[in-house]
Chain A
C-alpha cells in the first residue's frame, strides 16, 4: 500500500498517513459541508493499514476547528484504528489542543470515552491552521 497525503484547504485538514513509519497525521481544519465524501478515502486507508500495521502506530490529531459533520467520520477513523490493537500492535492517539481551548480538550475526552485506544492529551501554543 502507499502513503496517503492530502494538502490542507480552508475547510479540510492536511492528511499524512504513512504506512512505512506508522505515523498518521490529521492537522488544520475539518469543516466541509459534506464530510462523508472527504473521509471515505481516509477510513478505507486505515482499514487496509489495520490488516498489516507497523508494531507501533501513532495518530496525531491537531485540529483547530471541526464541525459535527466531521465528528462521526473522525470516530470512524478511530474505530478502524482499534482493529490495529486487536492483533496485538500498539496504537496511540495524540490529541493536540491549544492552551485556551477547553472545548477541544473536551472533544478529545469525549472520543477517549468511546474508543478503546490510549489517548494522550497534548497542550500546544497555537494550531497551525489554514486561514
Chain B
C-alpha cells in the first residue's frame, strides 16, 4: 500500500481532480466540503458564472447523496455512504457522484432522468416551473426539482448508470458536465 500513495496522488493530479471524497456524509461535512469547493473555485476558475454553476451542481449532488443514499442492510448504515469527485476538464468541470439505492426505485429514477434528458433548455425550464408549483414536497422539500436544476445548470445531458449489486440493491452513478 505504501508504495501506491504516490501513484494515487499522481492519478488524481493527472485527472485534475479538485475534490475527491468517499464515505459517510453529515450536514457538517457537506458544509465543510462545499467550503473547500468554493475556496478552490475562487482560485482556479476565473469565470464567475461558471464558479456559481459548479458550486450549485456540487451542492445539489451532495444533497442527493445525503438524502437518497442509505445502503439497506449494511452494518454501518447510520450515515449515507457515497462518493463524489469534482474534476477540472478542458472545457469546464465534471461532477461525478455515486450512491447506493434500492433496486425497486431504479426504474422510476431512470424514467425521471430520461425525461430530463429529453428536454431542450426551454422545456427544462417549463418542467422546473411545473414541478416547483405542483404542491408536492419531498422529505427535504425539493420534491423532484434536484435533477432538473442540475440539468439546467449543466447545460448538457446527464450521464448515468446503474450497477446491480444483488437482488435488492444497486449502485447509481451520475456524471454532470458543466461547460461554458
Contact = CB atoms under 8 A, between A and B. Distances in A.
A59 B137 CA distance: 24
A79 to B, nearest CB: 9
The majority secondary structure among interface residues of chain A is helix
Interface in B1-50: 27, 30-31, 34-35, 38, 48-49
A70 interface: yes
Contacts of B49: 100-103
Interface residues of B, number: 34
Q: How large is the interface on A (under 10, 10 to 19, 20 to 34, 35 or more residues)?
A: 20 to 34
Interface stretch (B102-110, B138-146, B169-177): B138-146
A65 B142 contact: no
Contacts of A114: 129, 132-133
Interface in A39-69: 39, 65, 67-69
B133 A36 contact: no
B83 interface: no
11 contacts: A11-B27, A31-B34, A35-B141, A65-B52, A67-B60, A68-B63, A72-B143, A73-B141, A98-B48, A103-B52, A110-B125
Interface of B: 27, 30-31, 34-35, 38, 48-49, 52-53, 55-56, 59-60, 63, 66-67, 125, 128-129, 132-133, 137, 139-143, 145-146, 148-149, 152-153
Given A10-B31, A11-B31, A33-B66, 12 more contacts: A31-B34, A33-B67, A34-B141, A39-B141, A67-B60, A67-B63, A68-B60, A69-B141, A70-B141, A72-B132, A101-B49, A131-B38
